[in-house]
Amino acid sequence: MPEPVFIPYTAQSYAAEESLERSAAYYHYMDQRRSVREFSDRPVAREVIDNLIRTASTAPSGAHKQPWTFCVVSDPVIKKAIREAAEQEEYTNYHGRMSEDWLADLQPFGTDWHKPFLEIAPYLIIVFKKAYDWDAEGRQTKNYYVNESVGIAAGFLLTAIHQAGLISLTHTPSPMNFLQKILERPDNERPYLLIPVGYPAEGAQVPNIQRKPLADIAVYYEAKPV
């Protein structure tokens, strides 16, 4: 076993006040991010998409295995095939496969089986998780905490998309194994999330929903005053 190699960590250091300001500013910035379903066909430069994916891949992962593949689809022929397959599954979902409770929970979002954004958005990024991998000699290698790792990378991707002034939708057509077939992905890759990326359509609207307040999502265990 070789010795581990360490290098110095060059940290950003802020005074407490600046740290507070930065944390508040970032919160307010991220609070503007919304899932948007109405896309414009306005093009986005490939270089922007490249940077978004580079950012996603800065995410931590189990044993640094980076168990992800980002498929970037701009080809209208493939987008159409994805839309048709997704709409076929969603039609079945909305006509009997989803429970009454589930349909009621989706009511505020006004969704149905139609998925025009899959053809309108200039890019579809399909995130695949790699259940396992192969080394240079073709031997199977293990990945760890794959769902957690890919979930974190997908989160980084969403923040990068927002930072670039673009919109996204975390879409999970269900079941979505058709993506593996259409995109001809190898056996070790499983579709994880489908994310259309682009600009909002003119006059795009989003559901009027609220985020939970801090008191409902955080529990603090602090030292008791003596």
Q: Which of 111, 163, 180, 188 contacts ligand IYR by CB under 6 A?
A: 111
Residue 32 contacts by C-beta under 8 Å, 6 or more apart in sequence? 162
What's the gap between Cα 28 and its chain centre?
20
Q: Residues 147, 62: contact at Cβ < 8 Å?
A: no
From 3-11, 103-111, 130-138, 217-225, span contacting ligand IYR (CB under 6 A): 103-111
Number of residues near ligand IYR (by CB under 6 A): 9
Residue 223 contacts by C-beta under 8 Å, 6 or more apart in sequence? none
Q: What would the two tokens of residue 203 be? A: 């006059």
Minimum CB–partner distance for residue 184 and ligand IYR (Å)? 23
In sequence order, what DSSP letters do the residues of 14-71 get, joined into one string? Answer: --HHHHHHHHHHHHHHHHT--B---B------HHHHHHHHHHHTTS--BTT---EEEE
Minimum CB–partner distance for residue 99 and ligand IYR (Å)? 11
Q: Which of 88, 174, 177, 205 contacts ligand IYR by CB under 6 A?
A: 174
How are beta strands 167-168 and 189-198 bridged, if at all? Answer: antiparallel
From 8-16, 116-124, 133-141, 169-177, span contacting ligand IYR (CB under 6 A): 169-177
Q: Choose between 111 and 163: whose C-beta lies nearer to ligand IYR.
A: 111
User: Closest Cα to residue 145, out of 66, 62, 68?
Assistant: 62
Q: Which residue is nearest to ligand IYR (CB)?
A: 111
Q: Which of 90, 118, 125, 176 contacts ligand IYR by CB under 6 A?
A: 90
From 134-142, 157-165, 171-179, 205-213, span contacting ligand IYR (CB under 6 A): 171-179
Q: Choose between 19 and 172: whose C-beta lies nearer to ligand IYR.
A: 172
Minimum CB–partner distance for residue 200 and ligand IYR (Å)? 18
Virtual torsion, Cα 142, 60, 169, 74, nearest 10 deg: -70
Q: Which of 72, 78, 106, 164 contacts ligand IYR by CB under 6 A?
A: 106
User: Closest Cα to residue 171, out of 106, 115, 105?
Assistant: 115
Q: Choose between 122 and 173: whose C-beta lies nearer to ligand IYR.
A: 173
Q: Which residues in this chain contact ligand IYR in the complex, by CB under 6 A?
A: 90, 93, 106, 109, 111, 171-174
